[in-house]
Amino acid sequence: MRVAIVGGGAAGMMCAATIAEEYPDVDIFLLEKNASLGKKVIISGGGRCNVTTGIEDIAQVLEKYPRGNKFLQSAMHRFSPIMVYAWFEAHGVPLKCEDDLRVFPVSNNGKDIVAVFEDLFEEKNVQVLYKHNVQHITKQDTGFVLSLKDQEDLEVDNVVMALGGQAYRHTGSTGDGYDMIEQLGHTITPLAPSLNSFLTKESWPKTLSGLSFQKATIFVYGQKKKYTSTGPFLFTHMGVSGPAVFALSSRIAFLEYDKETPLDIRIDIFPDMAEEKLLEQLQQTRETSMQKTFKNTLPHLVAKSFAETVCQELNIPLDKKNADMSKKELSRVAAFVKGLPLQVIGRGAGDEFVTAGGVELSEVDPKTMESKICPGLFFAGEILDIDGYTGGFNLQASWATGNAAGLAIGK
């Protein structure tokens, strides 16, 4: 049997590795248009490679996928985060689970993860074809013919499409597989960037660039459907970013917003404290330091730079003393920090880690990843209409679907 795996990212590499280890008699052709494998894998997690998640309960893991969670059930149970962890350690890469339950190589080097596959492919004689760009795929009675740019055609029995989405275009994930997949009879759902930062209309976040909060609740304001996200976030020179923002951006991936039609959001930087309780604390702080300026006592609760921004946004003079602060002004401060109003006018350029949308899942067998429309055609990874939050969930989905496709092809 001859198998062509199109795409040398996480899903493609795991699919090839699974077939090579489980079914050594299969001839595997791994086609990668770059000069090396796993470019996006290497840069994930800031170059450290967030391999998977430390969450062990599969039901909890599946909750981290706004799209595709039901489809992933079978593949996730057969190649769970625990199993992925064990697989990489068995292949010579020690892993560690950090406090936030993200899993990384102990070396903090994503290249070590890709090296596992490179070594395995050399040992198992997997034919890795670099700089091979697939232009067209033709289904024939006996299999498939892959037409390659500046290369001879390749005839195989089965094809795995593991091309990735449109995120991180400089790594090769340019979405050029969508047309080929549609030509083979499949539907591509609407596409949108996910896990991006927010660009805001307001300029004041720039003055706080780098200031982070370990826990805040961000919610979309004024929409028919309520969207919220709780977690760490930070101000940037263009707006806001961080895990809580990424998760929210994933949920609203298909909402349209720009300078003409901005998206209203609110940020509660004290999500575990009721507004009334916060007001009490402000009043107590005021009463213990009546002759101090309000902006210099507010840092008991928030960072000094943020305290000055609050005063400026609420038109409270920076030299105003606590003795002159009215309860109404303190109430305005409490309300402001419990719901910082911002208008989002765009998605952060270059921050799209994942593509929302892809191959319509109802057209794919969730147990085997095989097409229900075109026998012998399989899918794995981000090309599918599956995406997760930040924290190792997208790589986990790629490992799991790649493994499922590999096992099915071998059988």
The residue among 351, 376, 391 that closes a domain is 351
Tokens of 190: 């609407």
Same domain, 77 and 118: yes
Kindly state the tokens that stand for 220.
Answer: 């979309």
Q: Report H helices in 294-355.
A: 294-297, 304-313, 327-337
Q: Which residues contact 7 (CB under 8 A, 6 or more apart)?
A: 31, 32, 161, 162, 163, 164, 177, 381, 383
Q: With bands split at pLDDT 50, 70 and 90, how would you rate the model's confidence at 46?
A: confident
* 316-331 mean pLDDT: 94
Q: Which domain holds residue 334?
A: 196-351
Domain match, 22 and 166 both: yes
Which residues are CB-contacts of 63 (< 8 A; sequence separation ≥ 6)?
69
Q: Are residues 246 and 184 in the same domain?
A: no
Same domain, 250 and 186: no
Closest CA to 320 of 293, 284, 296, 300: 293
Which has the closest alpha carbon to 96: 108, 84, 110, 112? 108
List pLDDT tens digits, range 251-270.
999 999 999 999 999 999 99
pLDDT above 90 for 312 = yes
pTM for the whole structure: 0.90
Query: Is residue 57 domain-shared with residue 125, that is, in the same domain?
Result: yes
* Residue 244 to residue 19: CA distance in whole angstroms: 38
List pLDDT tens digits, range 99-136.
Answer: 999 999 999 999 999 999 999 999 999 999 999 999 99
Q: How many domains does the chain have?
A: 2
pLDDT band, very low/low/confident/very high, at 285 (cuts 50, 70, 90): confident
Identify the domain boundary among 300, 323, 351. Answer: 351
Q: What is the DSSP pairing of strand 354-356 with strand 239-241?
A: unpaired
Does 351 score more than 60 pLDDT?
no
Distance of CA 238 to the CA centre of its chain: 20
Q: What pLDDT score was predicted for residue 174? A: 53
Residue 371 belongs to a domain with what CATH number? Answer: 3.50.50.60
CB 177 within 8 A of CB 136: no
Instruction: Please give, one letter per residue, the 3-state secondary structure of 267-285.
Output: EECCCCCCHHHHHHHHHHH
3-state SS, residue 327: helix
* Spatial CB neighbours of 320, under 8 Å, sequence gap ≥ 6: 293, 294, 295, 311
Residue where a domain terminates, one of 302, 332, 351: 351
pLDDT at 176 over 80: no
Confidence of residue 271 (pLDDT cuts 50, 70, 90): very high
- Per-residue pLDDT at 136: 95
**265 lies in the same domain as 372:** no
> Does the structure show a pLDDT above 80 at 24?
yes
Q: How many residues does the chain have?
A: 411
Neighbours of 106 (CB within 10 A): 11
Q: What is the pLDDT of residue 189?
A: 94
The distance of Cα 350 from the centroid of its chain, to the nearest Å, equals: 13
Q: What percent of the chain is predicted at pLDDT more than 70?
A: 96
Residues 185 and 287 in one domain: no
Domain identity same for 321 and 217:
yes
Beta strands in 133-244 (DSSP E): 134-140, 143-148, 154-156, 158-161, 192-194, 198-200, 212-220, 228-235, 239-241
What pLDDT is stored for residue 175 in this prediction? 58
Q: H-type helices in 200-303, by residue range?
A: 204-207, 243-251, 275-288, 294-297
**Which of the residue ranges 25-29, 42-46, 99-103, 213-217 would you say has the lowest mean pLDDT?**
42-46
Q: Distance between terminal CA atoms of the chain?
A: 11
Side-chain half-sphere CA neighbours of 16 within 13 A? 35
Q: How confident is the model at residue 365 (pLDDT cuts 50, 70, 90)?
A: very high
- Confidence band (pLDDT; 50, 70, 90) for 298? confident
In terms of domains, do 152 and 223 share one? no
Average pLDDT for the chain: 93
pLDDT at 168 over 60: no
Range 308-315 contact pairs with CB under 8 angstroms and sequence separation of 24 or more: 309/204, 309/207, 309/208, 310/336, 310/337, 312/204, 313/204
Within this chain, do residues 60 and 205 fall inside the same structural domain, yes or no? no
DSSP state of 298: G
Taking only the tens place, the pLDDT of each residue in 57-103 is 999 999 999 999 999 999 999 999 999 999 999 999 999 999 999 99
Q: What are the residues whose beta carbons fall under 8 Å from the beta carbon of 225, sequence distance 6 or more?
A: none
111 and 8 share one domain: yes
Q: Are residues 308 and 284 in the same domain?
A: yes
Q: For the segment 371-397, what is each residue's pLDDT rounded down to a tens digit?
A: 999 999 999 999 999 999 999 999 999
Model confidence band, residue 164 (pLDDT cutoffs 50, 70, 90): confident
